[in-house]
Amino acid sequence: MAEVDPRTFFAEHGWLIVRGAVSPSRVAELEAAVDAIYAAYPPAPAGQVWEVAGISRISPAIAAHAHDPAIAGHAAAALGAARIKLLQDTVLIK
């Protein structure tokens, strides 16, 4: 199967998986940060999505990830942009 250009795939589908973009150790760090925040708030009712917009304002680990130039580079490449600016970050837990 031929490799698909990430920008073309994103333009067609509106989503993109970038394998290896986040190291397993960073995933564990981010998961721990989200778990700590989730534990501090009432859980979402069964069947509902728990959402925290702007979560990087309350978590240094998530802020570092949200502002990581490598992550921004992947997003810019998918959009075909030279640069991007983060407007909001959100965590959703189902």
Q: What's the confidence (pLDDT) of residue 1?
A: 55
Q: What's the confidence (pLDDT) of residue 42?
A: 79
Model confidence over 48-92: pLDDT tens digits? Answer: 888 889 999 999 999 999 999 999 999 999 999 999 998 899 988
Query: Could you tell me which residues come within 8 angstroms of residue 93 by beta carbon, excluding any fewer than 6 positions away?
Result: 34, 38, 44, 49, 50, 51
Which segments of the chain does DSSP mark as H helices, in order? Answer: 6-13, 24-40, 60-66, 69-79
Paired with 53 in beta bridges are: 90
Paired with 50 in beta bridges are: 93
Average pLDDT, the chain: 90
Model confidence over 82-92: pLDDT tens digits? Answer: 999 988 999 88
Q: What's the confidence (pLDDT) of residue 2?
A: 62
Percent of the chain with pLDDT over 70: 98
